Amino acid sequence: MLLRISLIVAILAGLGAGVVAYLEVSDKIPALVTQRDTEHQAKVDEIAAHNKTKKELAKTKSDLAQTQQDLADTQADRDKAVARADAQSKRADELSDKLTSVTQERDDAQNSLAAYKATDLTPEQVFKLSKDLKNARTEVEVVNDEKLVLLHTIGRLTNELAKYIGPDNVVKLRADLHGKILVVDPKWDFVVLNIGEDQGVISDGELLVSRQGKLVAKVIVRTVQKDRSIANLIPGWKLGEMIEGDEVSPAHPAS
């Protein structure tokens, strides 16, 4: 009997404890549900914010790429504009130079026209004067050439005459006469020079042969051609071997 009573008391005590535990848990369940719902909503909000951030980042990348492309296009357009501006500036400078040239030509033409009008000459008279002037210039050139030939002849005859007048007279050559040796014949001691009658060379004229400012020999002209001459080595005046390219100058320049 005592055991049954003890068992009943234990059962009642367990039921009481269960009721108390249930009452305590039932009080906490709403809070746990609320906490669960809050955490779930926070998770959902976080996921939504993350997705929004990803979309905004993608849009930002797209906008940046477009901006970079726009910048590249703008720079390309700017470079083209600068190139066109440079070309236009160069063209403007060319046109300015042409305008200056044309203006000068126009002014010269106007001055020439004014001078022509001031002469009161007809076009036929102007043409005749121009032709006469051209003929006169040609005649002057011919006369100058004949004068040069005559001077060469007078010099040559004067030197030839001097040889007969006195043995001590020497042939004098132009002070500014200078030439070079073209050919050397060491066996017969003669040289060919690149100067002749046109440059003022006279037969029996003596020339000093030098190289780098040093005297090498003295030669005397024996044959004179239009632009060439042949000279022989004067005995006792060979101070060194003559070579092609050596310079020659008058030994007795005319004053």
Report the predicted TM-score, pTM, of the whole model to 2 decimal places: 0.40
236 domain-assigned: yes
b/e per residue 31-49 (b: at least 16 CB within 10 A): eeeeeeeeeeeeeeeeeee
Render pLDDT for 146-160 as a digit per residue (tens, 0 to 9): 656 655 665 556 555
Tell me the CATH number at 194.
2.40.10.340
In this predicted structure, what is the pLDDT of residue 166?
A: 45
pLDDT band at 165 (very low <50, low <70, confident <90, very high): very low
pLDDT surpasses 80 at 142: no
Specify the number of domains making up the chain: 3
Would you give the DSSP letter of residue 234? P
Q: What is the mean pLDDT of residues 182-199?
A: 93
Percent of the chain surpassing pLDDT 70: 67
Q: Which two tokens stand for residue 9?
A: 């008391």
Domain encompassing residue 80? 31-118
Task: Count, in order, helices (H) and strands (E) of the chain.
Answer: 2, 6
Those residues with Cβ within 8 angstroms of residue 242's Cβ, 6 or more apart along the chain or in another chain: 181, 184, 186, 191, 209, 216, 217, 233
- Backbone φ and ψ for 120, nearest 5 degrees, come out as 60, 30
In this predicted structure, what is the pLDDT of residue 249?
A: 96
Residue 201 and residue 246 in one domain:
yes
Q: Mean pLDDT across the chain, nearest whole number?
A: 78
Percent of the chain surpassing pLDDT 90: 25
Q: What is the mean pLDDT of residues 106-112?
A: 75
Residue 234 and residue 178 in one domain:
yes
Q: What is the mean pLDDT of residues 14-20?
A: 62
Q: Examine the fold and report which residue of 118, 139, 158 is the final residue of a domain before the chain moves on.
A: 118
Name the amino acid, one letter, at 7.
L
Residue 213 and residue 194 in one domain:
yes
23 domain-assigned: no
22 domain-assigned: no
Question: Where are the strands (E) in the chain, listed by range?
Answer: 179-185, 190-193, 206-211, 214-224, 229-233, 247-250
Q: How many CB atoms lie within 10 A of CB 195?
A: 22
pLDDT surpasses 70 at 139: no
